Amino acid sequence: MLSDLRRYSRKRSVWLFAYGALAISYVLAIPTLFSTMTGYISASTAFTKVPGTSQFVPTSFFQSGYIFYNLEGIRNNTCLSNDEVSPASSRQQNQFNKCNSTCITHNYTDYRSYSIWKPTGEKYRQDSSTVERLFYSSDCSFFTNETYYDDYGSYIYQDSSYFEEHNIPKYNCNDTVNIAIGGKNFSIGVILNNAAYDEGGPRNWDTGYCYNNTGYTYSDISDNGRCLPDTENEAAYVSLSLSLPACLPSSSSFFH
């Protein structure tokens, strides 16, 4: 075909051939042009737009935690991560499960330990949330002459030397276990075992996700998720830096 074009030089044939070659090259180059123009990189990560704002942050910045409501002097949706709540929650559970009180007696005579609710004599599993709520909604108190070790999950009948050897802290049973929320101290047992909620009262907490001390639901996170370039990753940042300058000549060639 090329030899025929040279032999029979006709401007129209040459122009059509050149146009066809250019069109084929253009079609084949489109994927490369568009990938370069958009600054595409292979590395990406999940981002979430913070509800109520235009700010995108990595989804990993949202931590599982507790969202608090209806606490005096505290903004609703104030949030504490699990890491912030766990120390006080663990200690409160140890206090409740290991300390006797005016309303509850713990029985640890066998492997199947249980708690006795004194007002009725009813037995509950040691980890029953029902008896725990009964305690915090009634006029009950721990005895002043008892202590407990803050080692959640340990056997209650272990000798005190075990706890001392492992430097496990010991507390008085009648001490209130507080947690700081929004700069104010609250009894974590009262908050997490709000029996009034079962009777139609306001709820004090819920689980969710925390960012910047504000709580968000799972729907808030999933509905605002995006997959964006991972600029926190050094390799991805280099790829992005190289692809963006290439955007200009590609754009110029495309529109030209």
Segment 199-229, tens digit of pLDDT = 667 788 999 999 999 999 999 988 888 776 6
HSE-up of residue 233 (Cα within 13 Å, Cβ side)? 14
Average pLDDT score over residue span 42-67: 85
DSSP count for the chain of H helices, then E strands = 8, 14
What pLDDT score was predicted for residue 254?
45
User: How large a percentage of the chain has pLDDT more than 70?
Assistant: 65
pTM above 0.85, yes or no: no
Instruction: Tell me what pLDDT residue 37 has.
Output: 52
Number of Cβ within 10 Å of residue 75's Cβ equals: 12
What pLDDT score was predicted for residue 242? 43
Q: pLDDT of 58-68, one tens digit each?
A: 889 999 999 99
The better pLDDT of the pair 5, 91 is held by 91
DSSP class of 28: H
**pLDDT at position 250, please?**
45
CA distance 187 to 78: 16
Average predicted confidence (pLDDT) for the chain: 77
C-alpha 41, offset from chain centre = 27
Non-local (6+) Cβ contacts of 229 within 8 A are 39, 41, 43, 44, 45, 236, 240
Which of the pair, 198 or 202, is modelled with greater confidence? 202
Q: Which residues of 91-122 are buried (b: 16+ CB within 10 A; e: fewer)?
A: bbbbbbbbbbbebbebeeeeeebbbbbeeeee
